[in-house]
Structure 1
Amino acid sequence: MQKFMQNPLVKHAVEFSLMVIKYVELLEANRKFVIANQVLKSATAIGANIMEAQSAESKADFIHKLKIADKEAYETMYWFYLCEQSEQYCFDRSLSVKLDEVMRLLNAIILSAKRNNN
């Protein structure tokens, strides 16, 4: 795993997942189990798909796996928005900031890979 942590996208995805795990524990402590589960699934799926892309079978497979990570990032953004807007939920804005960092890197790599795929 150390080798992969030198990749900025992987590094940010892992950092983000660790932040999310802490947040989900807080949600669960406040008995917000349904949203906690949704956040945990979508947010950690971002990094899982990024890791899968590291062993892609082709450039097209690489792009496809990163696009799935991007979709999971948008789903996570939705859950974060609900948490942020709800008076019954605590929310740490740094989660959205870190998600934005991951999404910007992800989109830059997808665009670059698409340009180099033609």
Structure 2
Amino acid sequence: MKNELIERTKRFALNCWQFCFKVPKSREFNAFVYQLIKSSSSVGANYRASQRAKSTADFINKLKIVEEEADESVYWLEIFEEILPEHIEEIRKLKKEGSELLAITVASINTAKKNQNKQ
């Protein structure tokens, strides 16, 4: 599961980048594109970092960053959903994946917290 999530989070970043490549170039769109690329790539980078955590607390803290970045990615995709209806199918697929990664992350945080409290 760990390696699968490393690959899945990386694929999410790449798929968001591929979508962003199709977005029209303008000052307004570029601001949103930058934010989506930044947050979606941070999901994978921070998940990967969580796998090298030095303690359970460090693991939880790194996963909290993943949670925030996944949630932010979903937010930007919701914005794009409203301003680029011609890309609605692709955006909805990305949003679904972002939401699933968010749910997996929250579940992992909750499990880690339970295990930490047992110690």
TM range (shorter): 0.7 to 0.9
> Which residue is equivalent to 2:63?
66
1:84 correspondence with 2:81: yes
Deviation at 1:9, TM superposition (A): 2.3
What stretches of structure 1 of length at least 5 have no aligned partner? Answer: none
Supply the AA of the counterpart residue of 1:14.
K
After superposition, the Cα gap between the structure-2 partners of 1:63 and 1:6, relative to the gap in structure 1 and judged at 3 Å, is closer
**Aligned mates of 1:37, 1:15 — CA distance in 2:** 18
Q: 1:21 aligned to 17, 36, 47, which one?
A: 17
What stretches of structure 2 of length at least 5 have no aligned partner? Answer: none
**Aligned mates of 2:71, 2:55 — CA distance in 1:** 25
Deviation at 1:66, TM superposition (A): 0.3
**TM-score where L is the length of structure 1:** 0.85
Deviation at 1:87, TM superposition (A): 4.7
Q: Alpha carbon RMSD of aligned pairs, Å?
A: 1.8
Deviation at 1:67, TM superposition (A): 0.4
Residue pair 2:60, 2:113 contacting (<8 A) in 1 also: yes
| Secondary structure of the structure 2 residue equivalent to 1:7 | helix
**Aligned mates of 1:72, 1:102 — CA distance in 2:** 10
**Aligned mates of 1:108, 1:12 — CA distance in 2:** 16
**TM-score where L is the length of structure 2:** 0.85
